[in-house]
Chains A and B, each alone.
Chain A
Amino acid sequence: MRRSSILLVVTVIGFALPFTTDISAQTTAFASKAESDTVKYGKTPWEYEPYNRFEKPYNRFFLDTLEYPGYGRHIPEPEYVDSVKIGFIGPIIGPIPGLPGSLKTLELKVNQRVIRWDGYPVSHLAPIGTKMLQGTQLAVEQANARGGYRGKIPYSLIVRNDNGNWRSSGRETIMLAYKDSVWAILGTVDGANSHIAIRAALKAEIPVMNTADTDPTFVETRIPWVFRCITDDRQMCYLLADFAFKKLGLKRIAALRAVNRYGRMSIDEFRDAATRLGHPFMAELQYEEGDTDFSRQLRRIQSLNADGVITYGNAKESALVLKQMRSMGMNQWFFGSDRMVTKEFLDIVGKNHGNVAAGYPYDPTRKDPEYLQFIKDFRNRFGEEPETYAAHAYDGMNMIIEAIEKAGLNRALIRDQLAAMSNYEGVTGRIELDAVFSDRSPAFLAILKDSKLEFYTQDEIFSDKIEF
């Protein structure tokens, strides 16, 4: 989306480097002006705002709550429905072991009926999509146990699979809207597929709740039908940057990230923050999804004498990068995305992990009763542990159901109800929707200590009670 970002980085570096020694003085000088701007998109700290040291923008976007001024609210409710349909779209068909990328036949039981896909293309994101579907299912089943829509009509989940490589999410969204006639949609994971899905939803005028795509640009499109109940990479990158540069005092960070859209877009705010603090990346190297050998890129980083390495990619590749770093004697801090906070990552890196930190959208160790009940219910239903994608999907589907209960069967009115949920108490904590309906609740920092992940708030990190 920001093809010019590399050029801009070069340009900004050119401006930023001469000021490196007296940035704090400039920060002070501009602070009073910045403090007068009470509303800030994305809770962006002043020092991370674009062009903050050079120019005040002609116009700022995403500060006013998105409106839908169309006709949809006048569409009458249907006289009869036998179920209240809600759509799910996500990558749920994974690779067959030993035959990556093969076609697969899958049977899935949803709403007491078996859905069968024959020869459907598979997705490497299926583990995430499957968890998302489980969280969604649990929310729907619990709503039906309470009596369904307004105590009378059962909710039903209409499940469609998407596959990032085939960019199928657009068509699947259209089919959910026009053929399945669902009232709202939950999904999907991959950034590109999510963008495609919401563009389709915009034309079809149907609400979409996203619970898994942390791409900052996902909501930066002014689509008034889109909601996201997960803290995004903008918030997580700000926290990671604060930790790396302000807490740890690092200055020489190198990046090694996936070449795909996730790697490219999600690291963006960290890269910009580094540049704006006067510490532009020493290098930004890439790898292909599925790569297992990163020694060439790591040797380059080793030669740069970097004091930290950041990656953005899937758990497996991130873990392999870290493992190879340590085996090469590279003991720098290792930073990464929430996709590292998984059992798969921990299993691969083993005990010799060293200093590792990742952004995370919520605190999975929280002890409040609603969250603990969710974990218990999830275990009972699926016989396995929930994680971030299941928990956020559970919250997202509950938000949809609550909106439908209040609005009735009208897509525009359901949208309005979701738009009104500026503060929603979910099992993942308080969800704070901003003017573009994206969750701006504070991110957490996951620190790997003795092979266990610990989670910290921004205040805790800077409290001086914890040593890193």
Chain B
Amino acid sequence: MHRIFLILAVATSLAPKGLCQSGPTITLAGEPYVYKEWESFTEESTHGGLINDHIFFLEADGDSLWIGTEGGLVLYENGKWKSWTEEDGLPWKVVMGLAKDPRTGELWLALFGEGIARFSGGHFEHFTQMNSGLLNDVVYGVDIQGDNVWVATTAGISRYNQVTGEWAVFNEKHAPMEEVWTYNVDAAEDRVYFAVWGGGILEWDVKTQVWTDYVDPDGEMEIDLYRDDGLVHVITTSASYIDNVLWAGTYFGLSRYDRRNWRGYMDIDSGLPSNFINLAVGRNGTSCYSCTDKGLGVLVDFETDTWVTYKQDTEDAETWTAHVMVGNQEIKTMSTNLDLPNHFTICVEFMGDDVWIGTGHGLARGIGNGYYDGLRGKGSSAGSFKGPTNPK
């Protein structure tokens, strides 16, 4: 089946533009799951429980959710809100990233302009470039791999070993970094990935202790020469590694890399509502959630290029609409009850079958009743993939 889709994809790319535009009608290869039921939370609706509406990061902790905001740290647990501000010992109110250490249960915080903090036993331990090996106090992300805390700073990468207390730093002198402006980190057991603003994606192999960099092969900022030749652009904003697949978010689209082939996605050729991706997180190797400035773009099924995009169709729309798409072709729309007032989506997190999104003004939870991965009925004659996807 995979080969058939590859052939279709190649045929599509080679076909004359006019032929593509008058091609056969596209139908769904199967039904994607659509989050129609949502719970929304704002500072107003929670009566201050959510202390700030500008949500920067979400970290699931079992059935609880840690929330990094512009105004402090928040925990949503058993339907109740708890928060920490500078008055409670939080070193700095702007929490840009979070990581829960599965071994120790400690929470690590990326503080925007004030280094990092370890939250343990109700107390915050503060690390800055003045008292630790942090390369810079402007920290965009933090993640845990084994004993190590990896930190994405605006001046390079710092690594803290929690057992030995040793710090290591990586910048243009120690790693293949054209630029050092690290924007995001995602650590897995075998590899650690960094989105390096202007420098593409940087990969750390845990076993071999070797860095590998991935950049846009055309080397130009103002164009993408070929769609699938590599990373779509070096202005990367996020890296997400799951099932041996790398998903890379940029402000110019999304890239997928399975360690053999690259695939690029932009708003002209996919269900992405915008190329401006604040964060892209893989749910698995074939599905990725892209938080964009114009809504949430979900690639549900890589093979069939099936998307569900959630956005406000108009600025004053009271609820968001789900758009089911194949490539950039809309198949149908579905109403949802998601009523956040703006679809500038900044972060996403999965909690079992549910999905959480953080926006520039509020937080929402998609209730995943009956959730399933991929497409239901995929491969049946009624829902087979019948046509190519066309550029807009």
Write the residues of chain A forming the contact surface with B, with a CB cutoff of 8 angstroms.
1-5, 7-8, 41-42, 44, 50-51, 55, 57-62, 67-72, 74, 167, 170-171, 174-175, 178, 192, 195-196, 199-200, 203-205, 216-217, 220-223
Contact = CB atoms under 8 A, between A and B. Distances in A.
Given A57-B223, A170-B113, A170-B154, A70 B344 contact: yes
A3 B178 contact: yes
B283 interface: no
A4 B221 contact: no
A3 B213 contact: yes
B341 A74 contact: yes
A3 B181 contact: no
Nearest to A272: B220
A18 B62 CA distance: 63
B198 A217 contact: yes
A74 B217 CA distance: 41
B343 interface: yes
A61 B268 CA distance: 12
Contacts of A203: 56, 96, 112
Contacts of B112: 174, 200, 203-204
A325 B53 CA distance: 61
B14 to A, nearest CB: 14
B235 to A, nearest CB: 5
Interface string B247-260: 00001100000000
B186 interface: no
Nearest to A66: B276
B154 A58 contact: no
A178 B360 contact: no
A4 B56 contact: no
A1 B179 contact: yes
A61 B252 contact: yes
Interface in B222-278: 222-227, 233-235, 251-252, 266, 268, 275-276
Nearest to B94: A178
A90 B136 CA distance: 18
Contacts of B93: 178
B154 A200 contact: yes
A223 B227 CA distance: 23
A221 B293 CA distance: 14
Given A51-B220, A71-B361, A205-B360, 9 more contacts: A55-B226, A59-B223, A59-B268, A60-B222, A67-B293, A69-B343, A167-B155, A220-B221, A222-B235
How extensive is the interface on chain B, given as a class?
Answer: 35 or more
Contacts of A69: 293-294, 342-344
Contacts of B218: 8, 50-51, 57
A55 to B, nearest CB: 6
Nearest to A75: B361
A3 B177 CA distance: 8
Contact of B227 (A51, A58, A70): A58
13 contacts: A1-B179, A2-B220, A8-B218, A41-B222, A58-B223, A58-B226, A61-B252, A67-B293, A167-B154, A174-B138, A196-B155, A220-B222, A223-B251
A1 B94 contact: no
A3 B215 contact: yes
Interface centre among A51, A69, A205 (most CB of B within 10 A): A69
A216 B222 CA distance: 11
Contact of A171 (B113, B178, B198): B113
A42 B176 contact: no
Given A1-B234, A58-B224, A195 B344 contact: no
Contacts of A205: 360
Contacts of A204: 112
A163 to B, nearest CB: 12
Nearest to A217: B221
B208 to A, nearest CB: 21
A61 B223 contact: yes
A379 to B, nearest CB: 39
B293 A171 contact: no
Contacts of B197: 195, 199, 221
Contacts of A195: 179, 181, 197-198
B113 A199 contact: no
Contacts of B233: 61
- 6 shortest interchain CB distances as A-B pairs: A174-B113, A3-B178, A170-B138, A57-B223, A71-B361, A70-B344
B224 A57 contact: yes
Nearest to A3: B178
B251 A196 contact: no
Contact of B225 (A2, A55, A223): A55
A1 B178 contact: yes
B105 interface: no
B39 to A, nearest CB: 19
B113 A1 contact: no
Interface in B317-363: 341-344, 359-361
A67 B155 CA distance: 28
B274 to A, nearest CB: 8
Contact of B220 (A7, A50, A196, A199): A50
Contacts of B96: 203
A50 B251 contact: no
Contacts of B227: 58-59
A3 B220 CA distance: 10
Given A71-B361, A178-B93, A199 B181 contact: yes
A104 B170 CA distance: 30
Contacts of A61: 221-224, 233, 252
Contact of B136 (A50, A59, A170): A170
A442 B155 CA distance: 34
B180 to A, nearest CB: 8
Nearest to B227: A58
B379 interface: no
Contacts of A8: 218-219
Contacts of B361: 70-71, 74
Given A69-B293, A199-B154, A50 B222 contact: yes
Contacts of B215: 3-4
B32 interface: no
Interface string B95-125: 0100000000000000011000000000000
